[in-house]
Chains A and B, each alone.
Chain A
Amino acid sequence: MIYWDLFCAFFVPNIIGYGGGPAIIPLIESEVVGHYGWMNSQEFAETLALGNALPSPIATKMAGYVGYEVAGITGAMVAVLATVVPSLLLMLGSLGVLYRYRDSFRVKRMSQWVRPVIALMMAWLTMGFFTEGIDNPGLIHMLVIASLSGVALIKFKIHPAFVVFFSLIYGGLLLNQ
């Protein structure tokens, strides 16, 4: 059933994704593009680009949009609930217990051990966008856009929203087929 699939696709990444919002991006990609095939890589890249350009948490924006694409408003609600409610309920329900563990060595070790796996999945996703980019805007365009946006984002710390905006202008003018 589609609502159950949507719930699982967003519940699992959020419950294992230690390390905040960005950590769940590759986990969600593996569900939405890999496991369930609701989106292709191109559509996921577009969603991610807009998600990074707009304010507010990335996890709920992705959930809301993917849910809507797959099963309308109800789908969006299911995906967002699966993202927000489990960890929030855990937090409200077990506050005293959690407070004791906030400096626990084991809890720190949990987020430390997950980090390399997330890094690997992010690297894998980056490679995926690279091969997608060679196919789609083509190698030359991709290198031009990637190096310009790399300099803008990393060296000059320009806001992602502007970088995405300029890439849209570039695409609209130069990749018009």
Chain B
Amino acid sequence: MRPASQGALFMAFIRIGLLGFGGGPAMIPLVHQEVVKRYGWLEEEEFADVLAIANVLPGPIATKLPGYIGYRVGGVLGCISTVLAVILPMIAGMILLLSIFSRYRDIGWIHGMGQAVIPVVMVMMGQLTWDFWDKSYKTLGLFMSLVIMIVAGVLIYWLGIHPGWVIGSLLIMAWLLPERTYKNNEATE
């Protein structure tokens, strides 16, 4: 592991943030490129370990990974600077663009632009739905996926229970229930 200068660390993650289209998982190869190949801050196996650990925890991978690497090679300051480098430029971009858009929303053609975006977002969301369903079908099987979906659907949309409680209980059950019962799923992931 080579020591890093704070400036190089910050700039490396600025590049990762600006080139990382398509959210967290798309950024992983970019992080690998900068951190392992270009600067040698982490060895190949260390990077694989960090990635494996990050996947155990909830929360966006795109901030856990930079934050941890920043901490490893640059201490607390490194941790703060890498996270900010990844997230700050585009948060500023979002606020700027959407504020301008909101201000002129009453103008006819700008209003029309806002409406035209809804079907696009619908298609994107549909695509994500399919990805998650497909992955679920392949790892849990049809029966188990449907059971979880129907039970969760009744609780969330029919009884109006907050999804946080539903998913929280599901996570606790997944952690606590004995392993034997569902052992057959293990081979598929």
- The residues of A with any CB-CB pair to B shorter than 8 Å are 12-25, 27, 30, 35, 42, 45-52, 54-61, 63-65, 68-69, 76, 80, 83-84, 86-88, 90-92, 95, 98-99, 101-126, 129-130, 132-133, 136-137, 141-143, 145-146, 149-150, 153-154, 159-161, 163-164, 167-168, 170-177
Contact = CB atoms under 8 A, between A and B. Distances in A.
B132 A118 contact: yes
Interface in B94-144: 94-95, 97-98, 101, 108-129, 131-133, 135-136, 139-140, 144
A105 to B, nearest CB: 5
Interface of B is mostly: helix
Contact of A114 (B63, B131, B162, B170): B170
Given A48-B121, A115-B136, A175-B115, A65 B86 contact: no
B24 to A, nearest CB: 4
Interface string B36-72: 0000000000000100111111111111100110010
Interface of B: 17-25, 27, 49, 52-64, 67-68, 71, 79, 83, 86-87, 89-91, 93-95, 97-98, 101, 108-129, 131-133, 135-136, 139-140, 144-146, 148-149, 152-153, 156-157, 162-164, 166-168, 170-171, 173-175, 179, 182-183, 185-186, 189
A116 B94 contact: no
A111 B164 CA distance: 15
